[in-house]
Amino acid sequence: MAEDSPKRRKANFNEAETEVLIEQVLKHERLLFAAGPGRASAGQKRKVWELIRHKVNPVAACPRDVEDLKKRWRDLKRRDRSKLCRLSQGCGPPAPPALGLLLGPEEPPPARRQRR
């Protein structure tokens, strides 16, 4: 009986991979995340994610599959929503997804309105 080697985790996403992922997801955002009667089928979404995978893998540190890319996208959205919430101190409704991804760590927080 052969011993199973322990499963090793993949390398972290590098900056180039993340940039390509963000660029491609935002480019196809309407198709991937639209709701309502005009939304894409699961097969169409799968094809778009495969297209994104083919764009990310040439710059990737290791081969990525679609599930890796989806998880990274969810993590980016969650992290940026949390960052926006901390910056605004409001924790109100979530900001548009593209806004959080465009805010850099050096940029000033959005202006806050005074509550009365």
Q: Over the stretch 9-25, which tens digit does the pLDDT of each residue have?
A: 899 999 999 999 999 99
The whole-model pTM stands at 0.68
82's enclosing H/E stretch is helix 66-88
Closest by Cα among 3, 7, 18, 6 to 68: 18
CA 13, chain centre distance (Å): 11
Stretches in the chain below the pLDDT threshold 50: 1, 106-107
Residues 43, 40: Cα–Cα separation, whole Å: 8
pLDDT at 85: 77
Contact predicate 33/16, CB 8 Å = no
pLDDT at 83: 76
